[in-house]
Structure 1
């Protein structure tokens, strides 16, 4: 996408440099395309899990609620991005960091809302707001807690996030949870729409360059959308109806869904804030290394974490989900070589405009769930792959193997069979069946209490291709 005409090498490494507008605008839109589908997907998943999304019997009643959640995902991703690029006091790294709705919190949110409809949202957003405020507090001591979250822990958590969500992708591709007991669930027609998205995405990722490769998932879903239309899965009448129902412009409403304190929601969001904060540290380091060839400063790391927390808390007040830095845009900066934060600011403005126009959310809502399933399979599979990549930095001695084995077994096992803890109090049951939280807590605690110095036999590296390429210390970053 970039070339020498955009600026000199020194200018391209400067976050404060602004390319000419006719070059900065396409670069900003490129950042939006790289994260757009990932940003709105959590809203669609949570609406579906709650029961007013795809296939909901709520019909018109569920339409404005789901559209509003999509709208807020775009609006507050843009606002949180402005916190990062422009800054507000200690808030913001003043770097080209793109914020978006975090996948990490989805395994926490699904048990909180499952089948409960809009009535579950006040407690959910109460957790988002308080979790965001706690995330802001973490910014004051983020450097001091990194020792507790080495690659063994963070890699496990990211892998668990992906594993918790791959089932959603398969269910969507097959026709969605509401259709699970219907004859059409898992039909060849449903799968064909999902496979079109997957094949187009893979083709562009491997054989295209520049903007086409960056926006592969978006283009794949667009192609899948038109395929679904030719197969009768989308009607022009349905699109016109959705478009007609949506207002030309709408502003966010504070506490639209209400506000309620739920211990399960608050604990879940606060615990996940630690993981999200460490992810942001990694993204900030990746941006400064890939774009400017230097290490991130403490002020930049603290500011980025502040922006995560403030952005999430503000979003929660208006019906948005937790925001965090998006890793795919970190890779985009390394690819283009353009470090300008003002380029990302342009992308943020574009997101805000989309978020103020409900018709954009209304059109997104008409995407067949099978088409979205194809994109989700790719995205969530990449989350698992990212976790495994992080785990490759772990020194796989027997100590670390045991920590990983116990955490993964308990976390994934409880998620697969929630009835195993059906007699626990409701709050604890919801937290345990998320899978992610028990796995993370077990890994953190065992990593802190088990001695580094074990017998020679116990520290012997495991053979069979499991050895990582780290330098041997569990706490390598």
Structure 2
């Protein structure tokens, strides 16, 4: 489908332009396919951390199904806030919202092993964090100075590093299988590797929609592998389909509402990072699709919608939402700026979210197959963080900030017992690794002078002095 058959160059750059419906519908579904698996994956990971069973015969199956359902439903609703707008809420641009990976290092410790009992505090934190996130829309431009690429790149890298362990565990057979003979078997890794190789092949050797949907198609290939090797049976798929309802509405406060200081602080702090991510995505959309800078109104409206979408999701059992960067890339590739195309995709997501049978089918994806996709997705998060760090001027000051923040954040994540004597709230916040790293980087970036003495840096770096970006240490 060529762009000339959809509209004129001026029309394609106009967010208010509506392509013919028979062309707009597949374009909207294309946006959904690009983000679908990444959108439901956090719900599956949080459910697994809470201890919910993954089999269709598990007593926790309805809870897991509900979380997947809410991920689809509220991604669609939050996307509608962005495309249709509601007063000051929404960018009026083709911004696709979805469940955020960024909050996982905060959410996992909050629910770890607690089952349904851990969800009341989780969703209360999501709701309050969402309200705080929306308030950031009033002064989002003023806080950007506190979050340069050094800070945001470090945080995004830490998010990926905090999650890569999950991908390896899933590929080996999942957390419940740890210690069993099946854990890490050749069959388990075979399923994950099929996903990885198919994804890589399509990403680098295919074009258009095949490349954009590489992870989704890779998971389908892994699914077929699981069926062919007996890891998954048709009877299990049928059972999952039968146990899922044909239609269901969301329930407000389904898991209760419990105020937790750790949850509230964690979600509010992460709202800063998510807000800056959305600012970057909105700027990417306007630059890639229309060749212009985003306006203050668009940036603030996008932040309002981000927060409101998250707050409403928290009421009904959904997870925090943010703008999806893969869809920004899709707009840059297609050069189609129509917000109404994304509205169609949002409606498709909402329909899927109201039909639990869709979630039932998703739930039959073997954990090993999902692990292959997660390894790719979380690896890309790390790569995105490193890409952001490439914009940093690596002088001595920035090297010290990065070194201390990374050492403390990653160290606490790897050795949570180091803070075992602290109150439980502080333990949850610190052992995420992400929040202490972010806070240290933000504070040091604000208080340290622009350049540190060369001698001080060489003392702590073993003589390996830092150089500006794009340069290597000289060999004298």
1:60, distance to aligned residue in structure 2 (A) = 3.2
Q: Is the 8 A contact 1:112 1:430 kept in 2?
A: yes
Aligned to 1:199: 197
Q: Is the 8 A contact 1:93 1:302 kept in 2?
A: yes
Q: Which of the residues 156, 169, 178 maps onto 1:158?
A: 156
Q: Is the 8 A contact 1:391 1:468 kept in 2?
A: no
Q: Which of the residues 334, 337, 340 maps onto 1:336?
A: 334
1:467, distance to aligned residue in structure 2 (A) = 4.2
Output the aligned Cα RMSD.
Answer: 1.7
Query: For 1:196 and 1:28, how far apart are their aligned partners in 2?
Result: 28
1:348, distance to aligned residue in structure 2 (A) = 0.3
Aligned to 2:6: 6
Aligned to 1:357: 355
SS of 1:60 mapped into structure 2: coil
Q: Is the 8 A contact 2:396 2:451 kept in 1?
A: no
Aligned to 1:44: 44
1:271, distance to aligned residue in structure 2 (A) = 0.3
Query: For 1:26 and 1:89, how far apart are their aligned partners in 2?
Result: 29
SS of 1:61 mapped into structure 2: coil
Higher deviation after alignment, 123-132 or 446-455: 446-455
What is the correspondence of 1:306-325 to structure 2 with a 5 Å cutoff? 306-325=304-323
Q: Which of the residues 141, 144, 159 maps onto 2:142?
A: 144
Q: Is the 8 A contact 2:55 2:61 kept in 1?
A: no
Aligned to 1:28: 28
Q: Is the 8 A contact 1:393 1:469 kept in 2?
A: no
Spell out, residue by residue over 1:45-72, the C-alpha distance to the aligned partner (whole angstroms, 9 max, x if none): 000000004269xx43210000000000
Aligned to 2:101: 103
Spell out, residue by residue over 1:188-220, the C-alpha distance to the aligned partner (whole angstroms, 9 max, x if none): 000000000000001110111111111110010
Query: For 1:53 and 1:333, how far apart are their aligned partners in 2?
Result: 38
Aligned to 2:92: 94
Structure 2, unaligned stretches of length 5 or more?
472-476
Query: For 1:14 and 1:264, how far apart are their aligned partners in 2?
Result: 43
Regions of 4+ moved over 3 Å: 453-467
Aligned to 1:402: 400
Query: For 2:390 and 2:53, how far apart are their aligned partners in 1?
Result: 38
Aligned to 1:430: 428
SS of 2:322 mapped into structure 1: strand
Query: For 2:86 and 2:466, how far apart are their aligned partners in 1?
Result: 48
Query: For 2:116 and 2:2, how far apart are their aligned partners in 1?
Result: 45
Q: Is the 8 A contact 2:77 2:346 kept in 1?
A: yes
TM-score, normalisation: structure 2: 0.96
Q: Is the 8 A contact 1:104 1:272 kept in 2?
A: yes
1:22, distance to aligned residue in structure 2 (A) = 1.2
Query: For 2:342 and 2:360, how far apart are their aligned partners in 1?
Result: 25
Spell out, residue by residue over 1:403-458, the C-alpha distance to the aligned partner (whole angstroms, 9 max, x if none): 00110010001001111111100000000000000000000000000001444667
Higher deviation after alignment, 370-379 or 205-214: 205-214
TM-score, normalisation: structure 1: 0.96
Q: Does 1:83 align with 2:84?
A: no
Q: Is the 8 A contact 2:177 2:183 kept in 1?
A: yes
Q: Does 1:66 align with 2:64?
A: yes
Q: Is the 8 A contact 1:397 1:458 kept in 2?
A: no
1:4, distance to aligned residue in structure 2 (A) = 1.1
- Provide the aligned length of Structure 1 versus Structure 2: 468
